[in-house]
Amino acid sequence: MNRSTNRRGRGRPIVVLCPHFAPDNAPTGTVMTRIVDELAGLGHQVHVVTALPWYRHHAIEADWTGKWVRTESTPWGSITRLHPFPGDDKSNLMRRAAGFIAYSLLAGVFGLRAGGWFRRADVVIAMSPPLTLGLTGKVVAVLRRSQLVFNIQDIFPDAAVDTGAITNRWVIGAARLLERISYRSAAAVTVLSDDLGDNVTAKLPTSRASTVHVIPNFVDTDAIRPGNRLTPYRAELGIGDEPVVLYAGNVGFSQSLDLLLAAARELPDVTFLINGDGAARSSLETAAESLPNVRFAGYIEPDRLAELLATGDIHVVPLKAGLGRVSVPSKTYSIMAAGRPVVAAIDPGTAVSQILESSGGGVAIQPDDASAFVEAITAMLERSDRGLSMGTAGRAWVEREASPEAVGVAYHRLIEQLAGRAP
């Protein structure tokens, strides 16, 4: 946490249900950790129910094994960490769904206990994915005589359907039903962009359109700053001073990472570094076996994030066609905070493309277009001064528009409104 407070009494407590929280290094965990930090700084008592750290390897971290439930007190409330029921096979969606359901049920029980059994709360904040936490949050909110704020990071099942990850019509139908019920049962649904807001609003009755609130994610500009490109991390990986094109994040089927392989074939003097893990990594490594300039590395420690971001001369954000309207890659903010230019292969007119255009922090091209991707990378490498100016512009934009303080205040105002304390 970046801040602590001894103030424990603005109204009733807030209960937060989320799949990740510090020290877990999942992007959504970083987001929720900082939101809680900001709310605590504004005087709220907060009780977090989350999972034991498991994001890095889809298995509980070694230092956290041995107990299914761990609870700790904090100056601002408490954190309860639960077994997340992770599956070894990241591509087995049914197994992962079963794990999410089991975790959501357990989170419901401890959501009722957090801060005192059935004690009345100001609001219950539940984060999706997983979508199952929406219904859990509603049950906890009802039993704690509170209201639900449903925080949407990605639109599910739209993204899974668009990528072909889910094809069974019965599964799709059940997921869409759960989605509609979750949205309609929430007093407020928070989304990251206007695109996501339009998507959710279209699934609600007209009378409930006002429950959708756009509150963007943010980046910690104090923790992430522009740094020297010749990082110790380069040395660890055996990378010299050649240009590095970096993808950092989930290596899944939603990301068009085959674009990096296409660029690597055309640009043999450039190192393409894929940092992360996910269901698609194995097949991607196989496809890259004949490309010596493509490197793979696992997740880096969270406290080395700024160093990782500095390692790349150009960062890429590739999403398959159609997914730009249901997902907002929060990594974009971090890249811009690091002062590095972005090449985004993403649907035009969506949040990331709009941010890059308004900030001048990078370029957006059509998704799944290998020729355009290679052309954009090549042009930025040939005009290094252009890349540097984009990085500077991106840094200035996040300092101005994407501060944690602004997001914290937005959630504070929403909570005060729902609790009946708004002026």
Q: How large is the average pLDDT for residues 89-117?
A: 86
Does pLDDT of 6 surpass 50?
A: no
pLDDT-derived band at 32 (thresholds 50, 70, 90) equals very high
pLDDT-derived band at 4 (thresholds 50, 70, 90) equals very low
For residue range 151-165, what is the model confidence (pLDDT) as tens digits?
A: 998 887 777 777 666
Does pLDDT of 184 surpass 80?
A: yes
Look at residue 72 in the predicted model and tell me its pLDDT: 96
| Torsion over CA: 249, 253, 255, 259 (sign) | positive
Look at residue 5 in the predicted model and tell me its pLDDT: 44
Contact 232, 240 (CB under 8 A): no
- Percent of the chain scored above 70 by pLDDT? 94
C-alpha distances in Å from residue 185, one per residue of 110, 178, 356? 20, 11, 35
Which part of the chain is CATH 3.40.50.2000? 14-218+403-418, 232-401
Looking at domain 232-401, its CATH class is alpha beta
Look at residue 270 in the predicted model and tell me its pLDDT: 97
Q: CA angle, 127 as apex, 165 and 20 as ends, to 5°?
A: 85
Q: For domain 14-218+403-418, give the CATH number.
A: 3.40.50.2000
Look at residue 175 in the predicted model and tell me its pLDDT: 85
Look at residue 92 in the predicted model and tell me its pLDDT: 66
Average pLDDT, the chain: 90
pLDDT-derived band at 166 (thresholds 50, 70, 90) equals confident
Q: How large is the average pLDDT for residues 286-304?
A: 92
Does pLDDT of 197 surpass 80?
A: yes
| Torsion over CA: 169, 172, 178, 179 (sign) | negative
For residue range 317-353, what is the model confidence (pLDDT) as tens digits?
A: 999 988 877 777 778 999 999 999 999 999 998 889 9
